[in-house]
Amino acid sequence: MRFMRLFAICIFSILILPAAYADDRDSALSFPSEYRYTIIQPANNGGSTDNSGTIRVRVPEGDFLIGQPESAEELHKKGRHEVTGMGKEFNTDTMVLVPEGEALIGLPEGIPGSTLNPLRMATFAAFLIDTHEVTNAQYKECVANGGCTAPSLIIDYPPTFHEEGKNWYKDLSRNDYPVVGLTWRQAAEYCRWADKRLPTAAEWEKAARGTDGRIYPWGNIWDGTRANWDDRGKTDEFEKISPVGSFPQGASPYGAEDMAGNVREWVDDFILKGGSWYSDPVSLRSGDPGHGYIVERDDDMGFRCIKDVSH
C-alpha cells in the first residue's frame, strides 16, 4: 500500500505539477514580474490558443482531485462544528479544522524552490487554524489586556517605502484588516495570549493546500481574482492590503481564507509564507518555501494562529 502511494506521488510530480508551472511568456495575462504561467485547460488537440492569445495546454487523462471537499463546504453552512476530543464547539467564522492524517507537501524536483522545500509525504495531528489573518481589532484587544505590545511601523526600508502603512493600525476604519508591522516575537506572543500558537511551516502548508499537493489553495490553475496580489488592483480590485475575508473564492480545502496573498504570514520556523499584496504568483504558491525575513517587520507581514486538537 505504501509503495502504491509513493508511486502515485512520483507520477503526480512528473506529469501534473511541472505542467502547471510551464512557462508562458506569450500569455495574455499581464503580471508585474518576470514570471508567466500557462493556464492548464484540457484540449482535444493537445494544446490550443483562444481568441485572446492565451496558450492552453492539455492535461494528461486520468483522475485527480480538484475543488473543495464537501465536508468543508458543509462546515461553513453549519457555522459551528463539534471537534472530537475537545469536548466543545468552535465557531467556523473564527477557526477551521484541519484533520489528522497524511498530506503531500513541498515542490517537485526541478521546480523553483524545490531544493528548500522538496516534495514529500508528511503526517499531521489534527489542529484548528484561524479562518483569517489576525486583524487590527483582535490585536488591539490583546494590547488593551496587557498581553501584547503595539506594532512598530518604523519600517526597516527607507522611510518613504510604503509610508502609508504606518497609519493602518491607528485607522479605525481598518479594524478588519490584517495587523501588520509586527516582529515574529510579537506574533508568537499574541498566539500565546489567545491560548494558541504559531503554525509550523508544514502545518501552514497543509492548511493552505489540503492533502493533494495542489499549487494554490483553490487548485492548480492560477487565478488572479482569488487572491490579493501585486497586480496593482487590475484583477483583484485592491492596490494594497485588503480586509480579511475579501476573497472567499480563494479559500483552502478546509475553509481557511487569504492563505495566498494579502499579507505574508509568520510561522514558527521564522519564515514568512503565502505571499502578499506585494508579491507575484510564484510567492503565492502554497508550497513556496517561504522567505526568511530580511527586515524585522513590514506592512505586508502578518500572521494567524493554530490550536492543537487534544485527543
pLDDT digits (tens, 9 = 90+) for 90-120: 555 699 999 999 999 999 999 999 999 999 9
Dihedral angle sign, alpha carbons of residues 197, 203, 207, 208 = positive
The percentage of residues in the chain with a pLDDT greater than 90, rounded to a whole number, is 53
Measured distance CA(201)–CA(23) in Å, rounded: 27
> Which range scores top for mean pLDDT: 107-111, 174-178, 236-240?
174-178
- 3-state SS, 22-62, equals CCCCCCCCCCCCCCCCCEECCCCCCEEECCCCCEEECCCCC
Confidence of residue 310 (pLDDT cuts 50, 70, 90): confident
Residue at 253: amino acid letter: P
pLDDT exceeds 50 at position 256: yes
Taking the whole predicted model, whether its pTM rises above 0.85 is answered as no
Give me the half-sphere count of Cα atoms (radius 13 Å) on the Cβ side of residue 68.
20
The H or E element containing residue 186 is helix 184-193
pLDDT at 258: 97
Q: Do 119 and 109 contact (CB within 8 A), yes or no?
A: yes
- Sequence-distant (6+) residues with CB within 8 A of 145 are 193
Please tell me the least confidently modeled range out of 20-34, 59-73, 206-220, 238-252: 20-34
Distance, in Å, from the CA atom of 16 to the CA atom of 220, rounded to the nearest integer, reads 9
Query: Is it the case that residue 39 has pLDDT exceeding 60?
Result: no
> Which pLDDT band holds residue 163 (cuts at 50, 70, 90)?
low
Q: What is the pLDDT of residues 182-212, one digit of tens each?
A: 999 999 999 999 999 999 999 999 999 999 9
Q: Which residue has better confidence, 236 or 73?
A: 236
| Mean pLDDT for the stretch of residues 119-144 | 97
- pLDDT at res. 239: 86
Query: Which pLDDT does position 232 carry in this prediction?
Result: 78
> Which of the residue ranges 70-74, 183-187, 214-218 would you say has the lowest mean pLDDT?
70-74
pLDDT tens for each residue of 267-304: 999 999 999 998 999 999 999 998 776 667 888 899 99
Backbone angles phi, psi at 163, to 5 degrees: -55, -35
Give how far Cα 262 sits from Cα of 155, 189, 198, 215, 219, Å. Answer: 18, 22, 18, 17, 18
pLDDT over 60 at 23, yes or no? no
Q: If you compute the radius of gyration of the chain from its CA atoms, what whole number of angstroms results?
A: 19
- Looking at per-residue pLDDT, the higher value among 271 and 18 belongs to 271
| Ordered structural domains, the chain, with CATH | 2-57 (no CATH), 69-311 (3.90.1580.10)
Alpha-carbon span 111 to 136, nearest angstrom: 36
Strands, DSSP E only, in the chain? Answer: 39-40, 47-49, 55-57, 80-82, 89-91, 95-98, 101-105, 120-124, 127-130, 264-266, 271-273, 291-292, 301-303, 306-308
In this prediction, residues 209-223 reach a mean pLDDT of 96
Q: What's the rounded Cα separation, in Å, for the pair 111 and 108?
A: 6
- Residue showing cell 494590547: 143
Grid coordinates given for 144: 488593551
Tally the C-alpha atoms within 13 A of residue 308's C-alpha that lie toward its C-beta: 7
